[in-house]
Amino acid sequence: MASYDHVNWFRVPTIFEGDCLRFSLETTATHAWFAYFEPYSRGRHDWLIEQALTKAGTELLATGKSVEGRDIQLLRKGTGAEGRRKVWIIAQQHPGEHMAEWFMEGVIERLEKHDDPVLQKLLASADLYLVPNMNPDGAFHGHLRTNAMGQDLNRAWQSASQELSPEVLFVQQQMKQYGVDLFLDIHGDEEIPYVFTAGCEGNPGYTPRIEKLEEHFRSHLKHLTKDFQTKHGYTRDLPGKANMTLACNSVGEKFDCLSLTLEMPFKDNNDAPNALTGWSGKRSKQLGKDVLTTVADMVDSLR
C-alpha cells in the first residue's frame, strides 16, 4: 500500500522476482509512504484510548506492561456486576496485523453512539473487555509476529512467563479475575483473500453447545455483511488435535465458552473487491461495528 499523507492509502501492484518484491509508482507528490498494510501508529493508539475513556464510556480497568515496559490497556464497558456476560475482544497479538487495531477502533467508535438500540441491547446484559493492542513492543520494532523477546504471543498461552511473554500473562490474569463468556482474537491473514473465523473444534472440551454458538455467530455475521463468509478459511482441526498454545483454543477450553480467531485479509476480500484500496482500515472498522451486532444477537445464549 502507498500513501502521500498517511491518511489515504492505495494499492500499488507488486510482483515477485525470485525472492525480490518489486513495485513502482509514478508519484504525484514529492514524498510517498509504503506499507505492508495501512499502519496503525502508537500515536493513534494513544488517541484511541483517550476516545475510549472520554467518549465511549469505557474505564481503564487495568494496565499491563510489555517486556520493554510499554502499556497494555484493558478497557471495560459496563459495570462488571455479577450475572452479566463477559465479552472479551483482544487485538494485535501479531503486531504486523494492523487491521486488528483498526477493527478495535470500529468497536470503540460504535460505543460512542449512545442512541444505538442494538448496542443498548448488548450492553443491557453484557460487559465488554477490550485489549486494543497486546503487543506494543512488536509494533515499535516493526516485527510482523513476535514481541521484543522474539516470542509469537499466539503460541504462548500454555506457557506464558513474566520473562518471555508478560503480555499474555497479563491478559490471562485479568481473564481469571473477571471470567470470560465469549472470546474474540482479532488477526490478519497474509494469504487467504477473505474474512473468516477459526474455532475450537479440535479442543478436548469442545461440545455441541459451543458448536451451535459458533454456527450462530458465523451465519448471523454472514447475513449481515458481504465482508464475512464461511466458505474459505483454515482447515478444521481434527477432534482432540487442537494446538492448545493458541489463545483461541486455550481460552475456549479454560472457560468453556465460544472462542474464535477472526481473520481479515492483508490483500482484499475477493467477494467484494476494491481495486483502489483492497482491504483497508476503514473496512476493518466497519467489520468491528458489525461484529457487535452479531454479538448482540447471541448475547443471551452465551451461557
Q: What is the DSSP string of 85-100?
A: EEEEEEE-SSTT-THH
Beta carbon nearer to Zn ion, 86 or 187: 187
Residue 154 CB, shortest distance to ligand GEM, in Å, is 4
246 contact choice in Zn ion, ligand GEM, none (CB below 5 to 8 Å, kind-dependent): ligand GEM
Residue 237 CB, shortest distance to ligand GEM, in Å, is 6
156 contact choice in Zn ion, ligand GEM, none (CB below 5 to 8 Å, kind-dependent): none
Beta carbon nearer to Zn ion, 97 or 227: 97
**CA geometry: angle 58, 90, 166, nearest 5 deg:** 105
Helix 99-111 vs helix 42-54: angle between axes, to the nearest 10 degrees? 20
Q: Does 94 bind Zn ion (CB under 5 A)?
A: yes
> Which H helix or E strand runs over 261?
strand 258-265
Helix 99-111 vs helix 281-298: angle between axes, to the nearest 10 degrees? 60
Instruction: Check 38, 109, 201, 263 and give the catalytic one.
Output: 263
Residue 104 CB, shortest distance to Zn ion, in Å, is 14
Question: Could you list the residues that contact ligand GEM (CB under 6 A)?
Answer: 94, 154, 187-189, 198, 234, 237, 246, 248, 261, 263
Q: 209-238 mask for Zn ion (x: CB under 5 A)?
A: ------------------------------
Beta carbon nearer to Zn ion, 94 or 98: 94
User: Nearest 10 degrees: CA dihedral of 244, 245, 247, 251?
Assistant: 40
Q: Does 187 bind Zn ion (CB under 5 A)?
A: yes
Nearest Cα neighbor of 35 from 290, 280, 239 is 280
Beta carbon nearer to ligand GEM, 121 or 143: 143
Distances, alpha carbon 44 to alpha carbons 7, 17, 134, 149, 271, in Å: 12, 35, 15, 25, 30
Q: Does 98 bind Zn ion (CB under 5 A)?
A: no
Residue 87 CB, shortest distance to Zn ion, in Å, is 20
Nearest Cα neighbor of 132 from 94, 168, 170, 90 is 90
Beta carbon nearer to ligand GEM, 225 or 259: 259
Q: Does 85 bind Zn ion (CB under 5 A)?
A: no
| Contact by Cβ (8 Å): 91, 138 | no
Q: How far apart are CA 248 and CA 199, in angstroms?
A: 7
302 contact choice in ligand GEM, Zn ion, none (CB below 5 to 8 Å, kind-dependent): none
Distances, alpha carbon 65 to alpha carbons 73, 137, 207, in Å: 9, 10, 35
Is 263 considered catalytic here? yes
Q: How far apart are CA 179 and CA 228, in angstroms?
A: 28
Choose the stretch contacting Zn ion; rule: CB under 5 A; options: 86-94, 135-143, 243-251, 269-277: 86-94
- Footprint of Zn ion (CB under 5 A): 94, 97, 187
Q: Which of the residues are catalytic?
A: 263
